[in-house]
Amino acid sequence: MAFNFKHQIALLPISTTLVILVTIVIFLVKGKKSLLLLSFIAMLAMMFLWAFGQILQYLSGNQLTTILAHRVIYTSICFMSLSWLLFALVYTNNPIISNINKLVLFAIPPVFAWCGLLTDNLHHLFFTVLKYDSHKYINSVVIYGIIFWLTTIYSYCYIIAGTVILIKFMRTQATQARRQTRILLFAPIISFIASFFGDLYLLITKDPSPKIYDPTPICFTVTILFFGIAAFRYRFLEIIPGALRKVVENIDDAVLIIDNNNCIVSYNPAFAGFFQQIYTIQPNCFISTFTQALRQYCEIDPETAPETALKTALIFAALESNTSDLAGGDICLRQPERKYFKVKTRLIINQKRVQGRIVTFSDVTGYRQLLAEVNQKNAELSTVNEQLKEHLTLIEELAIVKERNRIARDTHDTLGHTMTLLIALLEVSTILCEQNPAETKTKLLEATLVAKQGIKELRRSIHQKMEISNLFDSLQKLFVDFELSDMKVDFSVEGIANYLNPKYEDLIYRICQEALTNALRHGKAKRTAIILRFDNQAIRLYIFDDGQGCQKISKGMGLTGMEQRVKECNGNIEYGSNGEIGFNINVEIPFALNLDVSP
């Protein structure tokens, strides 16, 4: 085969292919392995395929090599735009990159187009016509099908999306990062523009054998050049190391980096700020010169002199040698002002070899001052603690008195209720014993049950374990007990009890219990009416009986206990009699969200 003009033209993509291949090898060998590097290499790989396929196209000599060349070129075209979009997402750390479902969605069009390319000989939807023709400029005649034009559409959509993502990211960055992103944007733009005009030429002329050379692979060389500038001048593939350097420069701790020859190779601004008044660091000076200056300003605590002197000596030994990892301690500098530093030394190990060490100085002066203040406060607290012990004794005595009063109040309520019922039942039994012995026996059995229940409630009261699982069930049981003594109880409820808690339930139960007990024992009542009303603001309890009235009310433990219970719930209680007949009690209990639920 003669070396003709077509073969000379083929030298251009050959040079481009070699440049791309060398670039890929360099970054794979020297680059830090990361997702950003992988996305960058994927984009270079697509450029390589495009240029290599063009070489095969110009050197093809039959139908088989022509088909192979076009499959290589258009494999690159199918995935080039996707690689650019993924690179933009990774570079900007876009949240989409961690969403597998969205990434798969982005990959569907390229994979569909590539499958259409590989199976084109079955349906001819990618290339309507593809045949070898040595007389043509590109050794082939090509007419594109619907899949190719769909590929072109999504490719430019992906290219525009990736470009927009980078432009938005660039506008939020500082000057240095903005320049780096601008170069990354400019790098592929020449190749994309060349590809766009090539597709525009095909769309307008519909020429199956173009007379012009496809410049896109040659433009890849310019793209590689700009990527190289971004990589080596602005180090765009070293985002994490660059970020770490920025962090070290801005932290409050002083950082000193020492190489294997005990020379200071780097330090951050905080280090210069801490120690510039006692030591001026010269380029590549030895760490020993710094430690000598530091020793002159160290102060040993006289109270712990031997121990402190030993720890300080170990710190300086760690600073001056490469044999200690995670060594350190606290030192105190007396000039230019008293400061405390926590010193830590860590070895830098790379591939199991010690490369140097990092020393950090953390200013803990504020911590030491707070510690001294804490010690002083502790001494003051010790004095206060002795006073609190005396008050505690008094509080314990008050708690005992309070508990004694509670037990007395609960015992009165329980025993008063029980004894009143027993007396009533025994009086009835006395009357019926001669007239109706069977009924007398029934009343005595009921009296026995009342006595047992009273003992059970008395035990629960003493141990503060009132068990009122359901207020209304407990009230009904209470009413049945009193009806055994021939006192009728009419009970009604208005509203919905949405806000009840054990504290309210115990209060309502105890007031009803004491009111019925007083009505039976003191008023000899035959009927008592109880109305329990709920609304959004309060619980209202009204109790009326038809017993004997009283002109003057003498408060005993029963009424006093009611008042104490209502007061604990921030409520109000009123009671009285018209002097001739009956006694009434009115209670209002406001709802409180912070009410203690313990009965």
What is the average pLDDT value for the chain, to the nearest integer? 76
Given a cut of 80, whether residue 107 has pLDDT beyond it is: yes
Residue with tokens 């180090």: 235
Residue % of the chain over a pLDDT of 90: 7
379, two tokens: 């001494």
Q: Going by C-beta distance under 8 Å and a sequence separation of 6 or more, which residues neighbour residue 286?
A: 262, 263, 264
Sign of the C-alpha dihedral computed for residues 8, 10, 16 and 21 taken in this order: negative
User: Shortest CA distance to 339 belongs to which of 278, 283, 284?
Assistant: 278
CATH code given to domain 5-242: 1.20.1070
**What kind of architecture, by CATH, is found in domain 466-599?**
2-Layer Sandwich (3.30)
Domain ranges of the chain: 5-242, 251-363, 376-464, 466-599
Q: What are phi and psi of 132, to 5 degrees?
A: -80, 135
User: Shortest CA distance to 199 belongs to which of 216, 217, 221, 224?
Assistant: 216
Helix (H) or strand (E) holding 469: none
CA distance linking residue 148 with residue 145, whole number of Å: 6
> 236 with 333: CB under 8 angstroms?
no
Sign of the C-alpha dihedral computed for residues 505, 507, 513 and 516 taken in this order: negative
**Does 1.10.10 match the CATH number of domain 376-464?**
no
The pLDDT tens digits of the residues spanning 557-573 come to 778 888 888 888 889 99
> 522 with 563: CB under 8 angstroms?
no
501, two tokens: 């808690």
Angle at 262 between CA 258 and CA 265, to 5 degrees: 40
CA distance linking residue 483 with residue 458, whole number of Å: 22
Lowest-confidence region among 43-47, 151-155, 308-312: 308-312
Q: What are phi and psi of 503, to 5 degrees?
A: -65, -45
CA distance linking residue 128 with residue 122, whole number of Å: 11
CA distance linking residue 33 with residue 536, whole number of Å: 67
DSSP 8-state assignment for residue 557 = H
Q: Going by C-beta distance under 8 Å and a sequence separation of 6 or more, which residues neighbour residue 460?
A: 466, 467
Q: Give Cα 538 distance to the centre of its chain.
A: 41
Radius of gyration of the chain (CA): 48
Q: Going by C-beta distance under 8 Å and a sequence separation of 6 or more, which residues neighbour residue 35?
A: 90, 97
Q: If DSSP codes are grouped into helix, strand and coil, which group holds residue 356? A: strand
559, two tokens: 């009424």
Residue % of the chain over a pLDDT of 70: 70
Q: How many CA atoms lie within 13 A of 337 on its CB side?
A: 4
Lowest-confidence region among 45-54, 116-125, 162-171, 214-223: 214-223
The predicted model scores a pTM of 0.43
The pLDDT tens digits of the residues spanning 343-396 come to 888 887 765 667 678 888 888 888 888 888 888 888 888 888 888 887 887 777
Residue-level length of the chain: 599
Helix (H) or strand (E) holding 448: helix 437-462
Given a cut of 60, whether residue 212 has pLDDT beyond it is: no
Q: Going by C-beta distance under 8 Å and a sequence separation of 6 or more, which residues neighbour residue 565?
A: 409, 507, 510, 511
**pLDDT value of residue 2:** 42
**Helix, strand, coil abundance in the chain, percent, nearest 5:** 60, 15, 20
Strand partners, 527: 488
Residue with tokens 């050379």: 213
251-363 has which fold? Beta-Lactamase (3.30.450)
Q: Which of 37-41, 209-213, 302-306 has the highest mean pLDDT?
A: 37-41
369, two tokens: 């001052």
Residue with tokens 């009111």: 515
Q: Are strands 488-494 and 527-534 parallel, antiparallel or unpaired?
A: parallel
Q: How many CA atoms lie within 13 A of 466 on its CB side?
A: 22
Sheet holding 538-548, edge to edge: 488-494, 527-534, 538-548, 581-590, 572-576
> 337 with 372: CB under 8 angstroms?
no
**pLDDT value of residue 327:** 65
The amino acid at residue 140 is S
Given a cut of 80, whether residue 397 has pLDDT beyond it is: no
Given a cut of 90, whether residue 444 has pLDDT beyond it is: no
Q: Going by C-beta distance under 8 Å and a sequence separation of 6 or more, which residues neighbour residue 443?
A: 425, 428, 429, 432, 484
CA distance linking residue 335 with residue 348, whole number of Å: 31
**pLDDT value of residue 381:** 87
The pLDDT tens digits of the residues spanning 449-498 come to 666 666 666 666 655 444 445 788 888 888 887 787 778 889 998 887 76
The beta strands (E) that lie in 42-82 are given as none
Q: What is the dihedral of CA 442, 447, 449, 452, to 10 degrees?
A: -160
Using 50, 70 and 90 to split pLDDT, how confident is the model at 4?
A: very low
